[in-house]
């Protein structure tokens, strides 16, 4: 028996997938941030000179929560597109770009590997763009939902590049020294 699903069944399938993908992507993003906290929670990062375009620290968890939710919704749309040409490749690209995304915070905030972090964030921007195109080909709305993510990663690349330029010796600042410097400054 070969029956087509009704629009209501398709919608229900999407929402069921979204109930898994959105929390999963958001939790993975927060997990990466827990492994390598940034902003005010990172003494090493606090010692770095920040560019004028640096948003307030509170902006980052808000923006990333929204972006991760959009990514989860976009993934649910693609997962719901059974039989769509390019679906498997789009899902694989999504997984790869998400892994690169999740790797960036520990590379920068925990291990202070500035040069590697630059390579990773540039690779991430390229991967997000390619994933966006692949998602667009499966479901246009899914591709559009990744546009804010691509914009933010491009902005983050510029921001990070400026942080890197303003702090040429950042890799040599030890976490313990950063904490000691903060302690002596506050006394």
Burial class (CB in 10 A: 0-12, 13-18, 19+), 60: middle
> What does the block give as tokens for 90?
């789009």
Residue labelled with tokens 């649910």: 76
**Cβ–Cβ < 8 Å for 127, 93:** yes
- pLDDT tens-digit readout, 73-100: 999 999 999 889 999 999 999 999 999 9
d(CA 163, CA 111): 16
Instruction: For the chain, give the mean pLDDT.
Output: 89
- Work out the angle at residue 46's Cα, subtended by the Cα atoms of residues 44 and 51, and round it to the nearest 5 degrees: 120
The fraction of the chain above a pLDDT of 90, given in percent, is 79
Tell me what pLDDT residue 11 has. 72
- pLDDT tens-digit readout, 39-80: 888 999 999 999 999 999 999 999 999 999 999 999 999 999
Tell me what pLDDT residue 179 has. 44
Mean pLDDT calculated for residue range 160-182? 75
pTM recorded for the entire structure: 0.86
> What does the block give as tokens for 108?
């920068």
């Amino acid at each position: 028996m070969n029956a087509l699903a009704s629009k209501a069944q398709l919608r229900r399938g999407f929402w069921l997938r979204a109930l898994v993908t959105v929390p999963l992507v958001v939790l993975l993003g927060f997990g990466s941030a827990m492994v390598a906290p940034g902003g005010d929670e990172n003494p090493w990062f606090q010692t770095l000179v920040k560019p004028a375009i640096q948003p307030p620290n509170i902006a980052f968890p808000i923006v990333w929560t929204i972006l991760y939710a959009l990514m989860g919704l976009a993934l649910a749309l693609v997962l719901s597109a059974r039989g769509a040409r390019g679906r498997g490749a789009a899902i694989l690209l999504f997984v790869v770009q998400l892994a690169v995304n999740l790797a960036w915070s520990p590379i920068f905030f925990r291990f202070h590997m500035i040069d590697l972090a630059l390579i990773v964030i540039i690779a991430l921007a390229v991967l997000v763009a390619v994933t966006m195109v692949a998602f667009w080909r499966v479901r246009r709305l899914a591709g559009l939902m990744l546009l804010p993510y691509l914009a933010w990663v491009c902005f983050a690349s510029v921001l990070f590049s400026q942080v890197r330029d303003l702090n040429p010796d950042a890799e040599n600042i030890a976490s313990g020294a950063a904490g000691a410097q903060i302690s002596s400054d506050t006394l």
